Amino acid sequence: AQSVTQLGSHVSVSEGALVLLRCNYSSSVPPYLFWYVQYPNQGLQLLLKYTTGATLVKGINGFEAEFKKSETSFHLTKPSAHMSDAAEYFCAVNLNNNDMRFGAGTRLTVKP
């Protein structure tokens, strides 16, 4: 069963525009949630993670994500896109047993 769904395999924004990458999870218990980023020709690196408590999580490079239990969502946002943000973004869920599953990824393109 799919545990993580990322809506939109490809998102294109203009430089300076809002970035919104969507992630929904399916779990009967609150999972641990992560966003990873993969820059061209590089490995995956952690962008941010959700811990219990604060639902708004801030990560590196100005990105943040909000955990909404009622919507089973963990969307990633950035107020103003930069050319260097062009990359593949993966949402991931740890189903409380260290079984980490990833979404299909969203490729972000930033237009000048």
Partner 1 sequence: GAGVSQSPSNKVTEKGKDVELRCDPISGHTALYWYRQSLGQGLEFLIYFQGNSAPDKSGLPSDRFSAERTGGSVSTLTIQRTQQEDSAVYLCASSLSRDYNSPLHFGNGTRLTVT
CB of 16 to partner 1, least distance (A): 27
| CA–CA separation, 2 and 16 (whole Å) | 33
Contact 63, 35 (CB under 8 A): yes
User: Considering the complex, what minimum distance in angstroms separates the CB of residue 105 from partner 1?
Assistant: 4
- 89 closest CA partner among 42, 41, 18, 39: 39
How many H helices and E strands in the chain?
0, 12
CB of 98 to partner 1, least distance (A): 5
User: 28 or 97: whose CB is closer to partner 1?
Assistant: 97
What's the one-letter identity of residue 61?
N
Considering the complex, what minimum distance in angstroms separates the CB of residue 80 from partner 1?
26
Nearer to partner 1, 103 or 110 (CB): 103
Binding site for partner 1 (CB under 8 A): 6, 32, 34, 36, 42-46, 49, 51, 90, 92, 94, 96-105
Between 25 and 105, whose beta carbon lies closer to partner 1? 105
Please, which residue, 39 or 79, has the CB nearer to partner 1?
Answer: 39
Plot region of 16 (φ>0 → left; ψ -120 to 50 → alpha; else → beta):
left
